[in-house]
Structure 1
């Protein structure tokens, strides 16, 4: 904000009292959505607010709701990094951050209600929660809410997520375009987001004229733990001859990739000479992914937190505008773990072994 606030002039134009205008511009929560809309509309026209979405004026206190493990660096690394993205973005504007730990699917609604109904909470960000009852309560709170890595199927809340469908599609397409047949997807399917990634994988198979057969081309583990993934993959290898193994494997995360590499080594299978490996990767895994030389489909992380803050700030100013889903693109980061089968057939590809 630049120059002197023309509170009296805005009050006259909007038909509101100077005290109401002052409360709106100070980011107070005890004003109606209609009053906020009027004040910010005139403030924009008068050039008083230059950067509304990033303005500290719109919010004094923010509530983050997420699984308990997301609030510690030793718990859910991915969601912890997302939260750091939120905190980093709001720290420049002196916004106070509050936290509420909830279960992913069966949340404590009483705790949630107590948290969102605090008078000083101006906005709410819900991260990684799949409980639709919470979405309903959040939508009825009359406070702006943004969800991260989740989807409100009844279209009541703004959402920002990685484009899981496109990430699954692009990763599979990367392998299929290099001539790999068949390709195995080894992942966890407990959450809706992972199912979206599977659907993208299937679409890439269809477009590349590769018939996806779920019993043969999908291996499911529960969670991202390396121990269980290793046991599942070991059983998978024991049930197949070398000739029946896939040309390439797309792993759902770093722990799954480590399990696959370990078991392939135990079975005297080399990467990428015998089987190519690709992993879906998160920001906190990238150093390890690079050390292993893995090709990876990178998934946005801290960027989710940053974008959620901008959406929330915008919603505070325009509460009556339509809700929307913002999907952030990923990227393919090439390592040495995927051979180009098309080139290798023409003896043009130089292979690199993964230790």
Structure 2
């Protein structure tokens, strides 16, 4: 059956005009939600949606829910960049992006449902929200929903995230394979994603036959900012002699890494001669991290937004029950901040101090 005959057949089944059916299947936004629902129902049954190119987005409006700071470059820069990935992915199509600001742990569910229930909203992306009650409402909304950097533990929603456990594991493994044995993880544990990195760190220690001791291998800061991290690390250094300090420090983010470098310098400790420093960082921080000479494990950023849009599209074109849990891997970029202890023991390693 040709494409034109299928359009006529759907028109006959739905009571809509062939031109309306054609506009729906072309992803145009000048059709009603009721018309789209009718066309999609019959198109799925006839197998037509599987033949629609992946590049065609069948949405009028996309609702993006995130913490308020994510919608400004001066707020949460990481989530702001994720949203730019979403916008970039749909930039070639006539799709309106609607925004809904929500609290991370206690989201305003009434506000959320007000936005979701708007007729022209065809898909929802939830970024960095950990509220389980919100997940339940999203799953019951009968609209495709994807979470970014947040996991629905009851497996009702599609999810795309950095593979935080793998990133934590790979970063720790890099240090351990350089011969470091006393490694400190300095991080924030307020979110589930940071706990996943900690679990990866622990697993790397286990694989290298090292016992993870929380009092020796973990330093927690409360807050994402550099001032808080600097105060915590300063106190940590004051409570220990030089002989009690770790061989290497893995920092949970760029702000923590800057705080560590600053306080080590104040205490006349050189990197990497006295202590090696490595950071977990975001891809949009790459230029700054490289300018500091840091070795870092970078996690994907804009790619999360792009993949979330693709998952939404697959939900609109494929009527399947299984949910996605897509984990994007990071990468390790080498700098001058990590000494190779194995070579140093053989007197073969030449250090390059970070000023």
Question: Do they superpose with TM above 0.5?
Answer: yes
CA RMSD of aligned residues (A): 2.1
Alignment of 1:205 with 2:209, yes or no, is: no
Give the Cα separation in 2 of the matches to 1:37 and 1:168.
44
Deviations 1:297-346 (A, max 9, x none): 00100000000000001111224331120000001001000011101111
Partner of 1:93: 93
Following TM superposition, the consecutive aligned residue runs of length 4 or more in structure 1 with deviations greater than 3 angstroms are: 2-6, 9-12, 15-24, 31-35, 40-47
Instruction: State the Cα distance separating 1:9 from its structure 2 match.
Output: 4.0
Tell me if structure 1 keeps the 8 A contact 2:127–2:149. yes
Change (3 A) 1:94 1:46: closer
Tell me if structure 2 keeps the 8 A contact 1:89–1:306. yes
Tell me if structure 1 keeps the 8 A contact 2:49–2:317. no
Give the Cα separation in 2 of the matches to 1:87 and 1:5.
35
In structure 2, runs of 5+ residues without a counterpart are none
Q: TM-score, normalised by structure 2?
A: 0.93
Other structure's SS at 1:278 match: strand
Instruction: State the Cα distance separating 1:37 from its structure 2 match.
Output: 4.9
Alignment of 1:238 with 2:242, yes or no, is: no
Partner of 2:138: 138
Q: TM-score, normalised by structure 1?
A: 0.93
In structure 1, runs of 5+ residues without a counterpart are none
Alignment of 1:39 with 2:4, yes or no, is: no
Give the Cα separation in 2 of the matches to 1:33 and 1:168.
43
Tell me if structure 2 keeps the 8 A contact 1:249–1:277. yes
Instruction: State the Cα distance separating 1:276 from its structure 2 match.
Output: 0.4
Other structure's SS at 1:93 match: coil
Partner of 1:103: 103
Count of residues in Structure 1 that have an aligned counterpart in Structure 2: 348
1:168-187 equivalent positions in 2, closer than 5 A: 168-187=168-187
Change (3 A) 1:5 1:144: farther
Instruction: State the Cα distance separating 1:29 from its structure 2 match.
Output: 2.8
1:138-287 equivalent positions in 2, closer than 5 A: 138-287=138-287
Change (3 A) 1:117 1:180: same
Alignment of 1:127 with 2:127, yes or no, is: yes
